[in-house]
Amino acid sequence: MLRALPEPLVILSRRQTTGKGVVVDNHSSTHSYTNLQYVQDRDRSRALKYRLRRRTREVAESLKKHLTHHPEAILDVGSADGRMLHNLSGIFPSSSIVGIEYDETVVKFANELFPAIDIRHGDAQHLEFSDSCFEAAVAAAVIEHLERPDLALAEFFRVLRPGGILVLTCPDPFWEKLASTLGHLKEEGHNEVPDLKRLSAIVQKSGFSILEAKKFMFSPVGFPKELLIESILRALKLNFMMANQLVVARKPAHISNNI
């Protein structure tokens, strides 16, 4: 069981937002392929299982690399069924971990699947937490679904403690468009899929310092020695061959929330 969240980590209100045009994690309820279908398909789809596993690995390695101490509290935005949170809780067992998911049906599913993990309904663009609550915030495969990513980034900045780490992932726009054109993606609801340069720029504009920006995921279903292959591709400047993107950033250690 995860221990109780620290005292400063409180919900400011129970205000409900309309969420019109705002999606966290994957798909608006207006789309035919729903969030719940997506998370249920992860049990059956090799590709979806693999993509989740790789994103989780990249997130965990980034946190271990860039955090200066074991995090007291971690926020996962767009937590879906909670599988990434479940894995992170094993890697950071003494951390308080909370997930935010926009789709209330998926929140119910996640709470039944992982009752020991704190997963709540919420909106990335209006986080209902007090300032400076978390040492780390994660948004994996989220930013491309948001109507106003700038608002979400401002919220991530606000709830992170000074020196806190933000980890973002999103698909590469070229491979995303190609996969959609070929009919390999059921997912809908993307607003803007930024390239790595654009993603880094909007994160930096929100007040963060970029620590790392890279491409990853050579194969959509996994491949032997894939990490070695990816390191070789980076060395050869063949980053375009990888289908996902990672940005790790830090909130400055001596700064207020008013940037």
Question: What pLDDT, in 10s, does the model give residues 8-17?
Answer: 444 333 333 3
* Residue 228 near residue 126, CB atoms below 8 Å: no
- Looking at the DSSP assignment, which residues form a beta bridge with residue 91? none
- Over 80: is that where the pLDDT of 1 sits? no
How many whole angstroms separate alpha carbon 64 and alpha carbon 69? 9
- Over 90: is that where the pLDDT of 79 sits? yes
Domain ranges of the chain: 35-250
How many whole angstroms separate alpha carbon 38 and alpha carbon 187? 8
Per-residue pLDDT, 187: 55
DSSP state of 31: S
Specify the pairing of strand 209-216 against strand 244-250.
Answer: antiparallel
Sheet of 209-216: strands edge to edge? 118-121, 96-101, 73-77, 134-140, 160-171, 244-250, 209-216
Residue, of 230 and 145, whose pLDDT is higher: 230
- Over 70: is that where the pLDDT of 24 sits? no
- Over 80: is that where the pLDDT of 183 sits? no
Per-residue pLDDT, 106: 93
Residue, of 28 and 142, whose pLDDT is higher: 142
- Over 90: is that where the pLDDT of 211 sits? yes
**Which CATH class name applies to 35-250?**
alpha beta
Q: How confident is the model at residue 44 (pLDDT cuts 50, 70, 90)?
A: confident
Most confidently modeled of 141-155, 165-179, 182-196?
141-155
How many whole angstroms separate alpha carbon 96 and alpha carbon 71? 8
Per-residue pLDDT, 234: 94
Q: What does the mean pLDDT of the chain come to?
A: 84
